[in-house]
Amino acid sequence: MENNFKFWRRFFSYLAVAAILFFLFRQFLVSWPKITDFDLSFNYFYLIFSFLLLDMSIFGLALVWNYILRSLDPQNKLSNLAALKIYIYSEFAKYLPGALWPIVGKVYIGAREGISKKNLAISSFLDSFLPFLISILIGMVLAPIELIGSAWVYYILIISVLIIFLAFFPKFFWSFINWGLKLVGRAKIADSHSLSRKKTFIVLFVYFIINLIGGLAFFFFINSVVKLPAEKIFSVVGIYNLAIAMGVAAVFAPSGLGVREGAMSLLLSFYLPSGVAILISFVARLWFSLAEILLLLLAFLINRFQFKKIILNASNESIANELKK
């Protein structure tokens, strides 16, 4: 019975993703004549700059995750470079169906470094949930910024104020998180494994900056192929964050596949032809994956350089000891 349920759940998950992708592809084909007539211009500088900003934001996420981990376990001495490698490795697990695989990846790889599985699980959960919360906040405030005056925008602002309230009062914040964990049948986070008020505020503030940088990277990525006026930057940052949040919320889709592109193309279609918006949303996924791969390669190169340096120092010490004899 349980196996049948899992089968049908997975079947309908893939069916939903396929339906979204089919609709987007069909809309893309219908809009193709408009795409060919649209003024597309390639800018290498903006593309490279977008990669730098995006990698900065991903690296920042890894650093904050390590900060949370160290806050939960002061004895933990995991280096930022090691944290980056664990973070990037586990992030590739998001392409599997379900929202928990990146968390499972961090726990599995981190445990091999001798870190507590419980602390890894809690820090990884917070690393998934807190940026999601901040993405919603940024997206709901900035995405409709040009629609200020509409009635529904005020409801969005009220929700945003409530999120900020939670950030400033960790007691309510952690109660809210534990309530969410209870809904999904997970054990609550004990007070001894929660962050202090100061650290909660620091983490949320840094996530806010990181998500803004990610949105800024997306703006320059768009401008590497399409010219968007500078005054659209706030809306684009909001669109990026809202699309990311919707992709995370769609737990049935691997890495939000289809859902993120659908949300992104829909919101971008207010500023660009729908075909161009769909094209950008799909290329953006490739752009994001390439940024992760580049960061992983950089971590490998740094690690290899450090290893060679250790071997060289050991060799020099050995030679020096032999000469003393």
What is the spatial distance between Cα 70 and Cα 120, in angstroms, rounded to a whole number? 10
- Range of weakest confidence among 124-133, 184-193, 216-225: 184-193
Backbone angles phi, psi at 228, to 5 degrees: -115, 135
State the pTM of this model.
Answer: 0.76
Q: Estimate the share of the chain in helix, then strand, then coil, as percent rounded to the nearest 5.
A: 80, 0, 20
Q: Does pLDDT of 307 surpass 60?
A: no
Residue 219 domain-assigned?
A: yes
pLDDT at 72: 83
pLDDT band at 49 (very low <50, low <70, confident <90, very high): very high
Report residue 66 as tokens: 């390590």
Render pLDDT for 268-292 as a digit per residue (tens, 0 to 9): 888 888 778 888 888 888 888 888 8
The string of DSSP letters for 212-245 reads: HHHHHHHHHHHHTTS---GGGHHHHHHHHHHHHH
Listed ranges 91-95, 180-184, 221-225, 319-323; the one with the highest mean pLDDT = 221-225
pLDDT at 43: 86
Residue 189 domain-assigned?
A: yes
Residue 20 domain-assigned?
A: no
pLDDT at 64: 93
Instruction: Identify the residue with better confidence: 213 or 176.
Output: 213
Q: Does pLDDT of 19 surpass 60?
A: no
Residue 21 domain-assigned?
A: no
pLDDT band at 124 (very low <50, low <70, confident <90, very high): confident
Interhelix angle 151-168/170-183, nearest 10 degrees:
110
Mean pLDDT of 203-225: 92
Residues 6+ positions from 206 with CB-CB distance below 8 Å:
60, 64
Report the chain's terminal Cα–Cα distance, integer Å.
75
- The percent of residues in the chain predicted with pLDDT above 90, rounded, is 12
Residue 35 domain-assigned?
A: no
Render pLDDT for 58-100 as a digit per residue (tens, 0 to 9): 999 999 999 998 888 877 778 888 888 888 888 777 766 656 7
- The total of structural domains in the chain comes to 1
pLDDT at 259: 76
- For the purposes of burial, counting CB atoms within 10 Å of the CB of 60, is it exposed (0-12), middle (13-18) or buried (19 or more)? middle
Residue (of 58, 14, 7) closest to 259 by Cα position: 14
Backbone angles phi, psi at 227, to 5 degrees: -85, 115
Residue 68 domain-assigned?
A: yes
Report residue 204 as tokens: 């949320």
pLDDT band at 257 (very low <50, low <70, confident <90, very high): low
What is the spatial distance between Cα 235 and Cα 94, in angstroms, rounded to a whole number? 27
pLDDT at 57: 93
Alpha carbon of 124 to those of 9, 92, 193, 230, 288: distances in Å? Answer: 25, 14, 13, 36, 20
Domain that holds residue 106: 41-324
The string of DSSP letters for 254-304 reads: GGGTTHHHHHHHHHHTTTS-HHHHHHHHHHHHHHHHHHHHHHHHHHHHHHH
Average pLDDT, the chain: 73
- Range of weakest confidence among 45-59, 223-237, 239-253: 239-253
Residue 166 domain-assigned?
A: yes
Upper half-sphere CA count for residue 170 (Cβ side, 13 Å):
14
Residue 3 domain-assigned?
A: no
Whether the Cβ atoms of residue 35 and residue 276 lie closer than 8 Å to each other: yes
Q: Does pLDDT of 107 surpass 70?
A: yes
- What is the distance, to the nearest Å, from the Cα of residue 259 to the centroid of all Cα atoms in its chain? 15
Instruction: Identify the residue with better confidence: 227 or 17.
Output: 227
Alpha carbon of 313 to those of 79, 148, 321, 324: distances in Å? Answer: 20, 62, 12, 17
